Structure 1
Amino acid sequence: MDQRSELGEFLRSRRARIGPEEAGIVTYGGRRRVPGLRREELAQLAGVSAGYYTRLEQGQSPNASDAVLDAVARVLRLDEDERAHLYGLARRKPKGRKRSRPEQLRPAIRVMIESFGDVPALVLGRRTDVLAWNRMAHALLAAHLDFDAPQRVADRPNWARLFFLDPHLRELFGDWARKAKDTAADLRLIAGRYPDDPKLTELIGELTMNSPEFAALWAAHPVSGCAHDRRSYHHPLVGALTLGTELLQIPDDEGQRIAVFNAEPGSSSEAALKLLADLTFASTIPRPLRSPEPDPR
């Protein structure tokens, strides 16, 4: 991923969101060639020269000061995630492409999510690969896939790929369009943190080529984390559910996160999740061997 190009596209997308009148700039009619703020207008509002801001947008100012980046972020009204993304793109120096190694999951993390019992939980890697899921997360999200797939590096499921390219996920989420925007925004934030990861670049390229929805969202440069949310689901076995999700960073494993799904106590969603647990664990408990029939002879 070309980080200088990413920085320029990000800043242009954010300039386009803010009209001159909204920023307090007086206009005198006439057709404007670009939507939103012009470079020189943003530079004026941020208190820097137009030439300096142009170099920043072109990725030619890797040593931009905190004061300059803060001023640009203020004018563009960036939120916390967008501000962090700006800093990452503006400050990180391009590096050579590194060989991507498969991510490893600590055995203790696998044991932990398995201990959650009837609470769905899974572990995402920094490229949104599914590194592990417990029986309930598998039953909730991807029962059509092999449960052991996350343990096989060659065909390990990837959450972003599943979400945009697997018809099952499109049917599962009641608010697919909103979740799609959030997924693309989360992936954009990840890509800003790991611009030199070739596997991540390949994933983004694959999604751009094969999903028109992803391509349109990616071009708009959404940027946001997804620490928690509340989603509706249409599960093929237990029907409608509304579940909250908490996405927890694993401190000692860079970029890895645990997603935990919960229903409101006493709700119909809790009852549906309980039914799913009953169906899931009933189908995974080995049946006792039948005693051999006595020989009639």
Structure 2
Amino acid sequence: MNKTALRALLKERRELIAPEAHGLSRPTGRGRRARGLSQQQVDELTCRAIDTYNRLETGRYPNPPADYLRQVGRLFGLNEQEWVMLCRYAGIGDPPGPLNPSSGLEVPGVWQEAVDGIGHMAYLTDASWNLLAHNRHFADMHPGRRVPANTLRWMLLDREARGTSLVDWDTVWAPLVLPQLRAALAARPEDATLRRIEREVRADPALGPMWEACGAHIHPDGDERPLHHALHGPGHVSICAAQPLTAPGARLIIMLFRPGPRKSHPRVPMLRAAGPGDTGG
């Protein structure tokens, strides 16, 4: 628990909430000069016993329940990055899921310009794997430049992807993508898009048995996989994956395509910062 950071975050955000917005009166009287909600009003709005919130803000509430932190986070209008910080400062580690069900379904519009500026195939999806942004290099990869509406469904269920684009689909792509669907459902069990894809996967003759036996690989960052490019033919891609900080579950994927067999390109070594004794020579 980081009591100093916890108190600073909660106090700052509490003072931004007008009591009138929740049908409460602004406390008055001698000694009452603080802005925003009072600590007792937070207890009232979260239906908790008096002094519960004071214990949280002052760091006297060890390991508070995640559902209570979620109540406070939503009341204070925290964004997803602040929600992560709240849970860490309160001593429970990373949150069990996003603060709000709608989180991860939108990103700032400037991301389109950022994706356009990437010199490799690049695209951005929301937490349901719906395509939000892509660049021309990603469109060029697809026959007729027809980009998929949902990249997870495309990788698992699209006939053209399974038969042509995703080389060795049944041994390389599908076994590594299915665990990502399972992980996404664990984080967002009520996501209608992901549940629909799951039903299609279970009903698919090839994917159904794989689904029951799928492993624990949950992200593609650093992977290399064979791919047939619509313009450049057979080759392989190196995959880089990242996540916008305010959109949990959303992901930026950058694919570096290299034509020809994999063995013709040596694997790039890991990047590490130089240690104290390294001279760089």
TM-score, reference length from structure 1: 0.49
For residue 216 of structure 2, what is the aligned residue in structure 1?
223
**Counterpart position of 1:173:** 166
What aligned pairs does 1:59-208 form with structure 2 within 5 A after superposition? Answer: 103-117=105-119, 119-140=120-141, 142-144=142-144, 146=146, 157-170=149-162, 171-177=164-170, 178-208=172-202
- Letter of the 2:191 partner, please give it: D
Kept in 2, the 8 Å contact 1:100–1:197? The answer is no
Deviation for aligned residue 1:102: 9.3
Unaligned regions of 5+ residues in structure 1, if any?
Answer: 1-62, 64-90, 148-155, 270-297
Match of 1:233 in 2: 227
Identity score, percent: 20
Asked if the contact 1:100/1:198 (under 8 Å) is kept, the reply is: no
Name the CA distance, whole Å, in 2 between partners of 1:145 and 1:237.
Answer: 10
Alpha-carbon shift at residue 254 of structure 1 (Å): 1.3
Moved over 6 A (4+): 98-102
Report the Cα distance in structure 1 between the residues aligned to 2:234 and 2:135, rounded to whole angstroms: 21
C-alpha separation in 2, matches of 1:223 and 1:253: 23
> 2:112 corresponds to which letter in structure 1?
R
Tell me the CA shift for residue 111 of structure 1: 0.7
Shift of 1:134: 0.5
How far is the alpha carbon of 1:237 from its aligned partner?
2.9
| Counterpart secondary structure, 1:212 | coil
1:254 aligns to what SS in structure 2? coil
2:206 corresponding residue in structure 1:
213
Which secondary structure does the structure 1 equivalent of 2:242 belong to?
strand
Tell me the residue number matched to 1:259: 253
| Paired amino acid for 1:244 | S
Alignment-mate amino acid for residue 185 of structure 2:
A
Give yes or no for contact 1:246–1:260 (8 Å, CA) kept in 2.
Answer: yes
For residues 214 and 205 of structure 1, the distance between their equivalents in structure 2, rounded to whole angstroms, comes to 11
C-alpha change, 1:223 and 1:127, in structure 2 (3 Å) is farther
Structure 1 214/127 Cα, relative in aligned 2: closer, same or farther at 3 Å? farther
Separation in structure 1 between the aligned mates of residue 152 and residue 223 of structure 2, nearest angstrom:
16
Structure 2 SS opposite 1:228: coil
More helix by share: 1
| Number of residues of Structure 1 aligned to a counterpart in Structure 2 | 164
**1:6-59, Cα deviation, whole Å (9 max, x unpaired):** xxxxxxxxxxxxxxxxxxxxxxxxxxxxxxxxxxxxxxxxxxxxxxxxxxxxxx
AA paired with 1:254?
A: P
The 1:166/1:263 distance shift into structure 2, 3 A limit, reads: closer
Listed as ranges, the matches of 1:20-31 within 5 Å are none
CA distance in 2, matches of 1:143, 1:101: 32
* TM-score, normalisation: structure 2: 0.51
Aligned-partner residue type, residue 144 of structure 1: G
Shift of 1:115: 0.8
Instruction: State the AA in 1 paired with 2:105.
Output: E
Q: Once the 2 structures are TM-superposed, how far is the Cα of residue 106 of structure 1 from its aligned partner?
A: 1.7
| RMSD of equivalent CA atoms | 3.1
Q: Give 1:263 deviation, angstroms.
A: 4.2
Deviations 1:112-141 (A, max 9, x none): 010114x1100122122221110101111x
Contact 2:104 2:127 in 1 (8 A): no
Instruction: Output the CA distance in 2 between the equivalents of 1:187 and 1:217.
Output: 12
State the one-letter code of the partner of 1:220: A
Distance in 2, matches of 1:234 and 1:254, equals 30
